[in-house]
Amino acid sequence: MAVKVCMGNEAIALGALAAGVKVAAGYPGTPSTEIIETLIAVHHPDVKVQWSTNEKVALEVAAGAAYAGARTLCTMKQVGLNVASDPLMSLAYIGIKGGMVIAVADDPGPWSSQTEQDTRNFAKHANLPVFDPSSPEEAYEMVQAAFDFSEKYRIPVLMRLTTRMAHSRAVVEIGEPRQQNTLHYPERPRQWILMPGNSRVRYKTLIEENKLFEQEAEHSRHNRYIDGPDKSMGIIACGLAYNYIMENFPEGCPFPVLKISQYPLPTALVQRMASECRSLLIVEEGQPLVEEMIRGLLGTPIPVKGRLSGELPRTGELTPDNVRGALGLPRRESEAASQLTMPRPPALCQGCGHRDVYTALNDVLREHYPDHKVFSDIGCYTLGSLPPFRAIDTCVEMGASVTMAKGAADGGQFPSVAVIGDSTFTHSGMTALLDAVNEKSNITVVISDNLTTGMTGGQDSAGTGRLEQICAGLGVEPEHIRVVVPLPKNMEEIRRTIREEIEYKGVSVIIPRRECIQTAKRHNAKKQ
């Protein structure tokens, strides 16, 4: 037994190793990235670890390994689960053979995401169990329990993290890894063929099994009913939010507390609290899922307070301070923010190739095409929306730049330009480009290639060294796949290339290629 100070994400990775994981796949996205990075750093020779092209691919890789009987881990952030939702819903029906844990990191705030969505809603939608740890120590133990649960019921299990949970640190006792599963396939292989007749049968089975999942939650050691003398209020604290309650009561909470870290909702424990207390306070990070469920569950007119009632903020992260009012405690005194420190908005790094791309693009579009529209995407280059560039008009979700540019062009917009990064392009821009080629749309696609997944820390990009071949394979005319080097000295060439390809009536691709400045620094440091 070893003792280690672990980030929550590290604890998930090390817990998966202790559980005998064989295959781990994910797509980088803050706040989930460190799970796969930890597994890569540990470099267990018997564990296959990979960054996948996107989250859907990662989940399908994990599903294939689970079909073969291996324990598998799949990782992503909350918006990545949108991408992986198609296989997720099907896997809930067909089940798995080896244990499968899907670790999803939510981002209340949000701090580095488009949305504040709550993974627990997906779990409810898919009728899947969820584990919601409150600390790195619990995460380490809980991921092992999740693998056991998954194998017991042959069902994928979701592990839901939040930003503070994923990135907080604590002392964790690390045990020895269990032996990996041997190769063994499903006894009823036909259940993996999800045709309508089979689907109807499997869905009935899933609904019936949910009763067992709820019974497991009722008796789970991760769901605890902690009695208290003051019955004027009962507190239901979900996952990380449990800590916010206990931090406000260092000597012990006077109210009964139901800590929930395993779903489906343990209704018997909730009903017990409702029968013993005169009101309920629901404290949960993310969306008011449990609060809504409890309002529908209870037949008695007991007051239910939380995010929906206004006692807690409706959006954003919870903190010990903004929970105090709902607990009937006075607000802590705080100092006013210093006026000496000026706010500094995020900006592209000095020396970043995206800067030169936007400079050239602005020069051409503002001089020659006053009615231009630039559709951008998710990545470092999204910062091109801010001063001094103000170069893009939209950023919706991964891959939308190319598709929206096509749609705008189809609607009569000219010029219609898409800006997308190399990693985002292989994630979900390729099919969009194929659609544009098939429809002979009049768009110019700029794939700003910094040879890495820069926004999440410099992971390998799936298309590195192959973007030209990929674009040609998708049907873009080779003479309209143009590669430039984004440097100030090449600015005239870049402007000319942009102008020429905008004037081409069809799909053209410009690939400005220069290594991310931060990745280059790391590579140079290793050489010294």
Check whether residue 432 and residue 412 sit in a common domain. Answer: yes
Buried/exposed code over 61-72 (b: 16+ C-beta within 10 A; e: otherwise) = bbbebbbbbbbb
List, in sequence order, every residue forming a beta bridge with 3; answer none if it has no partner: 173
Check whether residue 295 and residue 420 sit in a common domain. Answer: no
Check whether residue 383 and residue 301 sit in a common domain. Answer: no
Q: What is the CATH number of the domain that holds 58?
A: 3.40.50.970
Residue 109: the pLDDT is: 85
Residue 228: the pLDDT is: 96
Check whether residue 323 and residue 367 sit in a common domain. Answer: no
The last residue of one of the domains, among 197, 219, 241, is 219
The three-class DSSP label of residue 27 is: coil
Check whether residue 233 and residue 150 sit in a common domain. Answer: no
Residue 83 inside a domain? The answer is yes
Show Cβ contacts of residue 528 under 8 Å, excluding neighbours closer than 6 positions.
Answer: none
* pLDDT tens per residue across all 528 residues of the chain: 789 999 999 999 999 999 999 999 999 999 999 999 999 999 999 999 999 999 999 999 999 999 999 999 999 999 999 999 999 999 999 988 899 999 999 999 888 888 899 999 999 999 999 999 999 999 999 999 999 999 999 999 999 999 999 999 999 999 988 999 998 887 777 778 888 888 898 999 999 999 999 999 999 999 999 999 999 999 999 999 999 999 999 999 999 999 999 999 999 999 999 999 999 999 999 999 999 999 888 876 899 999 999 999 999 999 999 999 999 998 887 777 677 777 777 889 999 999 999 999 999 999 999 999 999 999 999 999 999 999 999 999 999 999 999 999 999 999 999 999 999 999 999 999 999 999 999 999 999 999 888 888 888 888 899 999 999 999 999 999 999 999 999 999 999 999 999 999 999 999 999 999 888 888 787 776
List, in sequence order, every residue forming a beta bridge with 416; answer none if it has no partner: 373
Check whether residue 239 and residue 167 sit in a common domain. Answer: no
In whole angstroms, give the CA distance from residue 517 to residue 7.
27
List, as own/partner pairs, every contact residues 395-399 make where C-beta atoms lie below 8 angstroms and the sequence separation is at least 24, other chains included. 396/114, 397/79, 397/82, 397/114, 398/54, 398/79, 398/83, 398/424, 398/427, 398/428, 399/424, 399/425, 399/427, 399/428, 399/429, 399/431, 399/432
Check whether residue 284 and residue 250 sit in a common domain. Answer: yes
**Hey, what amino acid is at 485?**
V
Residue 334 inside a domain? The answer is no
Residue 288 inside a domain? The answer is yes
Residue 183: the pLDDT is: 87
Check whether residue 436 and residue 291 sit in a common domain. Answer: no
In whole angstroms, give the CA distance from residue 33 to residue 516.
18
Residue 197: the pLDDT is: 85
C-alpha Rg value of the chain to the nearest Å: 25
The last residue of one of the domains, among 189, 219, 249, is 219
The last residue of one of the domains, among 192, 219, 246, is 219
Residue 110: the pLDDT is: 86
Check whether residue 178 and residue 144 sit in a common domain. Answer: yes
Residue 48 inside a domain? The answer is yes
Identify the domain containing residue 510 by its residue range: 353-522
Residue 345 inside a domain? The answer is no
Residue 341 inside a domain? The answer is no
Check whether residue 384 and residue 240 sit in a common domain. Answer: no
Check whether residue 52 and residue 187 sit in a common domain. Answer: yes
Q: How many CA atoms lie within 13 A of 95 on its CB side?
A: 27
Residue 493 inside a domain? The answer is yes
In whole angstroms, give the CA distance from residue 525 to residue 527.
5
List, in sequence order, every residue forming a beta bridge with 173; answer none if it has no partner: 3
In whole angstroms, give the CA distance from residue 326 to residue 344.
33
Residue 405: the pLDDT is: 97
In whole angstroms, give the CA distance from residue 257 to residue 446.
54
Check whether residue 20 and residue 133 sit in a common domain. Answer: yes
Residue 1: the pLDDT is: 75
Residue 299: the pLDDT is: 72
Element (H, E) at 126: helix 119-126
Could you tell me the pTM of the whole model? 0.91
Residue 333 inside a domain? The answer is no
In whole angstroms, give the CA distance from residue 57 to residue 78.
16
Q: What is the CATH number of the domain that holds 253?
A: 3.40.50.920
Q: How many domains does the chain have?
A: 3
